[in-house]
Amino acid sequence: MNISEFAKLAGVSKSAVSRYFNDGYLGQDKREKIEAAIEKTGYSPSLSARSVRTRVTKLVGVILPKLSSESCARVTEGISAVLSEYGYELLLVTTSNNNHKEIESLELFRQNRVDGVILLSTVFTDLHKAVLAKMRVPVILVGQKLKGFNCVCHDDYGAAKSLTCLMLAKGATRPAYIGVDPEDKAAGEARRKGFESAVAEVGLELRKEFTEIAEFNIDSGYEKARRLLSGKVRPDCIFCATDSIAAGAMLYCRESGINIPNDIMIAAVGDSKIGKIAAVPITTAHLHYKTAGSEAAKMLLAAIKEPTIIPRMLQLDYYIIERESTGKTETV
C-alpha cells in the first residue's frame, strides 16, 4: 500500500499523512483518522521514502573486525544500548581484519545513506584517511586515535606497563613479549611501548629473541610461545598483547610441562571469558569495551545533532585483575 492509497482509506490528504509520520502539526481529528487507519492496515511508510524527505534514516553503520571477537561484541552491545533508545537501527559489517574490506565498507556507507558510522579499526592507511575525509556523515572511531576525528580509545600503554611491572615486581628477570602488528597503533604499538617502558625502568635488557609478533588468535599464540621457549635460555615471564594469544601460549606451556606461574608468569590485556576459564586463570587488564561502545554512540548522536561540533578524543581507564598465571597474591 502506498501513501496515496493509505490517505484515501484514512479519508485525509497525502500531506496530512506525511505530517503525521514526520511529527508535523496535525489537527486532532485527522490524527485520529490516521491512527484508526494504521490500526486497521498496519501501514508504515518506507524508510527510503521518509529519508528522502527528512534526510534522516535512523540507520547507523557499524564496521567491525569480526563478530566472533568478545571485545567487538561488548563494544557493539554498548553502541546498541544507547542508539536503540533513540530509535536507531544498526547495520553491521564485518571485515575479518581486512583493510580493503574496511575501505569497501566505508565506501558502501558513504554512498548509501546512513546517519553516521562507527568504525572499529586496527590500522589506518592513507587510503582509510582519504575515504574518511570524504564521508558526508559523522564517523566515530573506537579503539584507535586519529587526529581530526571523534575517537574513543583505551589506555593500552598504561595497561601493558602495569601488567609487566607486576610480573617484574614478583621477581621476573627475563621478560618476553608476544605482540601484534606494530602498525596497529593501540594493541600493537602502544602495548609494546608500555612493556618496553616497564622493562627499561628496572634496568633490564630486552633480548631480541624474546620478542614475537602474533595474529589475534590462540593458534598463533601457541606457535609464538613455542619459538620463545625452545631456546637455550627461556624467559621467566611473557606479556601477551591479548588474552587469546596468552591462552595459546599457556596451552603450549601445559603440553611442554612448563609450570605456570612457577616456571614462567603470563599476563595479557582484555579480561575475556577465555582468560577466566583457562586451566590457569590469566592475570589481565580489564578494558571498558562496552563503555567504549556507549560513549561512541553518545558522541555520534551529538555529532548528528550538531555536525560542526569540534572532534574530541576520549581515553578510558583500565584496571588490573590479578589471577593465578602470575601467582595470585593470597588475601589474609
DSSP of 178-220: EE--TTSIIIIIIHHHHHHHHHHHTT----GGGEEE--SSHHH
pLDDT for 18 equals 76
Indicate if 310 and 278 belong to the same structural domain: no
Q: Report the pLDDT averaged over residues 267-294.
A: 96
* Nearest residue to 206 (alpha-carbon basis) of 228, 184, 181: 228
State the pLDDT confidence band at 141, using cuts at 50, 70 and 90. Answer: very high
Q: Grid coordinates standing for 20?
A: 503525521
Task: Report d(CA 331, CA 225) in Å as an integer.
Answer: 31
Mean pLDDT of the chain: 90
Average pLDDT over residues 308-321: 94
What is the rounded CA–CA span in Å between residue 65 and residue 97? 5
> pLDDT tens digit string along 218-233?
999 999 999 999 988 9
pLDDT greater than 80 at residue 209:
yes
Q: How far is CA 299 from CA 15, 133, 149, 194, 291, in A?
A: 34, 18, 11, 28, 12
- pLDDT of 51: 46
In a domain, 213, yes or no: yes
For residue 289, give the C-alpha cell.
569495551
* Domain ranges, residue 199: 156-287+320-326
Highest mean pLDDT: which of 60-69, 110-119, 293-302?
293-302
Cα–Cα distance measured from residue 300 to residue 306, given in angstroms and rounded to the nearest whole number: 10
Answer yes or no: do 74 and 219 share one domain: no
Does 118 reside within a domain? yes
Residues 6+ apart with CB under 8 A from 205: none
Cα separation of 272 and 21, whole Å? 44
**65 and 184 together in one domain:** no
**Residue 11 maps to which CATH number?**
1.10.260
116 and 81 both lie in a single domain: yes
Q: Which of 36-40, 46-50, 142-146, 228-232 has the lowest mean pLDDT?
A: 46-50
Say if residue 249 is in the same domain as residue 301: no
Residue 331 has pLDDT above 50, yes or no: no
Q: Residue 23: pLDDT band by 50, 70, 90 thresholds? A: low
Residues 190 and 279 in one domain: yes
pLDDT tens digits, one per residue of 55-113: 578 999 999 998 888 999 999 999 999 999 999 999 999 998 888 899 999 988 988 78
Residues 300 and 275 placed together within one structural domain of the fold? no
One domain, residues 37 and 107? no
Would 259 be classed as within a structural domain? yes
Cα separation, 63 vs 94, whole angstroms: 6
> Does residue 16 share a domain with residue 118?
no
Q: Are residues 162 and 270 in the same domain?
A: yes
Q: Count structural domains, the chain.
A: 3
Tens digit of each residue's pLDDT (9 = 90 or more) over 275-286: 999 999 999 999
Helices (H) and strands (E) in the chain, counts: 13, 12
Residues 170 and 272 in one domain: yes
Residue 180 lies in a domain: yes
CATH number for the domain that contains residue 91: 3.40.50.2300
In percent, the amount of the chain with pLDDT more than 90 equals: 67
Q: Is residue 52 scored above 50 in pLDDT?
A: no
Please check whether residue 332 lies inside any domain of the structure: no
Question: Does some domain include residue 331?
Answer: no
pTM for the structure as a whole? 0.81
